[in-house]
Amino acid sequence: MMKLLHICCNLAGSTVFPQLFEALDAKGLEQEVFVPEKYASNVGKNQPKGVSTHTALTVRRSDAIFFFRKAQRSVPEIMRRVDMQTVGLIHAHTLFTDGWIAQALSEKTGVPYMVTLRYSDIEAIWTYMPHLRGKAREILRGAKRVVFLSPAARDKVLAQWLRGDEREQIAKKCAVIPNGIDPAWLDGGARERIGDPVRVGFAGILNDRKRPLDALEAVHEANRQQTAVRFALRACGDGPLREKLTAALLQDDEYLGKISGMDAMKAFYAGCDLLLLPSTAETFGMVYLEAMSQGVPVLYTKGQGFDGQFEGGEVGFAVKAGDAQDMARRLIECAAGYGERSARCIAHAKEYAWPTVAEKWMNLYREA
């Protein structure tokens, strides 16, 4: 296989990308990374070990409106830094920024490209910048492969963005490859018994998108619906809804503040029996995998990122966003058959280890 060129504007903001690039390096893939960056303070952050990375300050504030300027500045920088004659495929890790650059670079060099769609593409830019929708479809048409992190994201784009022959054409190029999890997470054990009260974890930013108040209301509604099992919220995180959340806590509920680091999060999950994160917009949701790796069954939003990874009931259940009664019913249902479901969480989390996910990418690169 010839060299792969990644275009990754979000390298500094996520540990997902360096873990992926390092896992691919371990598979023997020759690769380089180009990072179109806006902030000088981000240069050097999250550098993947052993992988050649080029960061260039080719993004400006005004590019939020004039997206094409990112490509105009980035393509010459890439061609100056990377020997494109050795590159067999370009992988753009977002649709609008990276995909636009990849398309322009492909037109200049003849090297084919593929593109991954993420939360910012599907839920933010497409929604709030409608003047870019035509360009988005053009990038998808030109890509060799179109990759999503979940079946739910794929289905949403195919249903809402595309019509007729164009939908059929792009659907044939689609693949679903989830994010991976650091193998260091995979040390959890299955839980044999559920707690009393049942501790329902919430881990994330305390904002409207993550819906912590909905999670709390669902826990209280579960207690109102029945008396056989008691439920209590165990929340961590910080954000604009912190005061509202803490003001609404009842006696058994607890708020632990902001928690960071793998060991601290493992300790958090050790005190949880279930995880409920009813986000209204989620491309994937690493928190679900993390909880599963520690034997904690999960409840995730229907039609969002994690939905479709497993059959309902296998590791948890999909819940309706904003519907406290549905969430409460699913909490009660998830508490039943707990030991077997916890064991399935442990087994399935191992399927998402980065070496396994990297092999899926390697197969897709070979095809493309």
Q: If you write DSSP's letter for every residue of 270-285 in order, what string do you get?
A: HT-SEEEE--SS-S--
What whole-number distance in Å separates Cα of residue 72 and Cα of residue 59?
Answer: 10
The residues, ordered by sequence, that sit 6+ positions from 28 with a Cβ below 8 Å of its Cβ are none
Q: Give the β-pairing of 3-7 and 31-36.
A: parallel
Closest CA to 37 of 29, 49, 46: 46
Here the tokens at position 337 are: 């058959």
Q: Starting from the edge strand earliest in sequence, which strands make up the sheet with 198-203, in order?
A: 254-255, 231-236, 198-203, 274-277, 298-301, 316-319
Distances (CA, A) of 211 to 33, 123, 124, 232: 35, 16, 17, 16
The 10s digit of each residue's pLDDT in 127-145 is 888 888 999 999 999 999 9
Q: Which residues of the chain have pLDDT under 50?
A: none
77 in the same domain as 44: yes
Q: Are the CB atoms for 189 and 363 separated by under 8 Å?
A: no
What whole-number distance in Å separates Cα of residue 208 and Cα of residue 60?
Answer: 28
pLDDT in the model for residue 82:
97
160 in the same domain as 60: yes
pLDDT in the model for residue 282:
67
Specify the 3-state DSSP secondary structure of 138.
helix
282 in the same domain as 241: yes
pLDDT in the model for residue 66:
75
197 in the same domain as 127: no
347 in the same domain as 362: no
Cis peptide before 183 (omega within 30 of 0): no
- φ, ψ for residue 116 (rounded to 5)? -105, 135
99 in the same domain as 75: yes
187 in the same domain as 144: no
What whole-number distance in Å separates Cα of residue 209 and Cα of residue 288?
Answer: 16
221 in the same domain as 148: no
Structural domain including 277 reads: 183-351
pLDDT in the model for residue 280:
81
152 in the same domain as 50: yes
What whole-number distance in Å separates Cα of residue 207 and Cα of residue 279?
Answer: 10
pLDDT in the model for residue 340:
95
This prediction has a pTM of: 0.89
224 in the same domain as 174: no
pLDDT in the model for residue 2:
80
Total domains, the chain: 2
The 10s digit of each residue's pLDDT in 250-264 is 999 999 999 999 999
pLDDT in the model for residue 1:
62
The residues, ordered by sequence, that sit 6+ positions from 159 with a Cβ below 8 Å of its Cβ are none
145 in the same domain as 65: yes
Q: If you write DSSP's letter for every residue of 110-161 in order, what string do you get?
A: ---EEEE--HIIIIIIHHH-GGGHHHHHHHHHH-S-EEESSHHHHHHHHHHH
The residues, ordered by sequence, that sit 6+ positions from 33 with a Cβ below 8 Å of its Cβ are 5, 6, 7, 8, 11, 21, 48, 51, 52, 53, 54
174 in the same domain as 33: yes
Length of the chain: 368
What whole-number distance in Å separates Cα of residue 187 and Cα of residue 305?
Answer: 25
pLDDT in the model for residue 321:
87
The CATH number of residue 302's host domain is 3.40.50.2000
